[in-house]
Amino acid sequence: MKVFERSSKSEIIFKVISYLFVTIFALLCLYPIVYAFSVSISGKVAYESGEIVLFPKELTIQAYKMVLYDKSFWISYTNTLFYTVFGTAWSMFVSLTGAYVLSKNTLMGKRKWNFLLVFTMWFSAGMIPQYLNYKQLGVDNKWGMVIAFGIQAYNIILLRNAFSSIPTEIEEAATIDGANEFQIFSKIYIPMSGASIATVTLFYAISRWNGYYWSKMLLRESSEIPLQVYLRTLIETYQKLYDESVVVLDYAADSLIYAIIICSIIPVLVIYPYIQKYFARGVNMGGVKG
């Protein structure tokens, strides 16, 4: 009885400490978002005097009005939605079909093909050769960005391992019933790998949504740049204007920047809670077999 009570007390203490630690960590992660929102709706004097720590002061929505009337913001926002939707769809199509083929034991040279896939995670040609390769292939427009960045080896491996964990007896039974390869893929493998597919889809979507570097390097038309590149350009522009004392605004320049940041993360904040539950199950399922 004493052993049980001692065990219960230690378990309670462990749970209290764990929940306390997780709560503190969650608050630390949440603070930058709260601070950004507070700055975006606070007055210029309150922000520049350093009064904004957590809650907003001198409430104003002037920065959001500027965002709503900024044509360039909506163009870049639309471009980001384009890259995210079509880019994720293309990436999932290539990854699902590739993972399905690589998971088949009947594939000739299966070990060699899988080795070549993993090899790309270990070694790369380097940034400059990669840039020159993209330029020669004409990756300087919206569809080029969608197609050229369609594959990530790690995500294909997750899906391949998830497919490999499906019992072969199910496929054999479907084959006996007259199912073809496409039907087996679409009606057995995809439905039974829902958690892994949801996880990889979110990986691709977030990567596309936050894409900055290659969009900055390759895209030349301002009408095709995504939101992240536009935000960076806006920061550099305002910084230059303020350093040269060219412009004086009724609100802090950072308020406009934070307002754009808040607007840019709204889709992620809305979608993520619905897919988050698949994360642990999807990644674990994708890491069962090598």
Percent residues over pLDDT 70 in the chain: 87
Distance CA 93, CA 261 (A): 30
Residue 245: the pLDDT is 56
Q: What is each CA distance from 286 to 97, 165, 168, 275, in whole angstroms?
A: 16, 8, 17, 16
pLDDT in tens, 57-82: 888 888 888 888 888 888 998 999 99
Look at residue 287 and tell me whether its pLDDT is greater than 60: no
Q: Residue 107: which pLDDT band, with cuts at 50, 70 and 90?
A: confident
Per-residue confidence at 84, pLDDT binned at 50, 70, 90? very high
212 vs 225: CA distance, rounded Å: 9
**Measured CA distances, 134 to 29, 150, 172, 240 (Å):** 36, 13, 43, 31
Sorted by where each starts, the structural domains of the chain and their CATH numbers stand as: 68-286 (1.10.3720.10)
Rounded to an integer, the average pLDDT of 21-42 is: 87
Is pLDDT above 60 for 3? no
| CA distance linking residue 42 with residue 239, whole number of Å | 19
pLDDT band at 47 (very low <50, low <70, confident <90, very high): confident
Over its C-alpha atoms, the chain yields an Rg (Å, rounded) of 25
Q: Which amino acid is at 138?
A: G
What pLDDT sits at residue 288?
A: 46
Band (pLDDT 50/70/90 cuts) for residue 86 is: very high
Whether residue 87 contacts residue 204, with contact meaning beta carbons closer than 8 Å, is answered with yes
Query: Quick one: which of 74, 71, 44, 72 has its CA closest to 60?
Result: 44
- Residues 132-149: pLDDT tens digits? 888 888 888 899 999 988
- Under 8 Å CB-to-CB from 161, ≥6 apart: which residues? 103, 285, 286, 287, 288, 289, 290
Q: How confident is the model at residue 87 (pLDDT cuts 50, 70, 90)?
A: very high
Q: How far apart are CA 232 and CA 257, in angstroms?
A: 9
Give the chain's mean pLDDT: 82
Q: How far apart are CA 164 and CA 103, in angstroms?
A: 5
Distance of CA 255 to the CA centre of its chain: 25
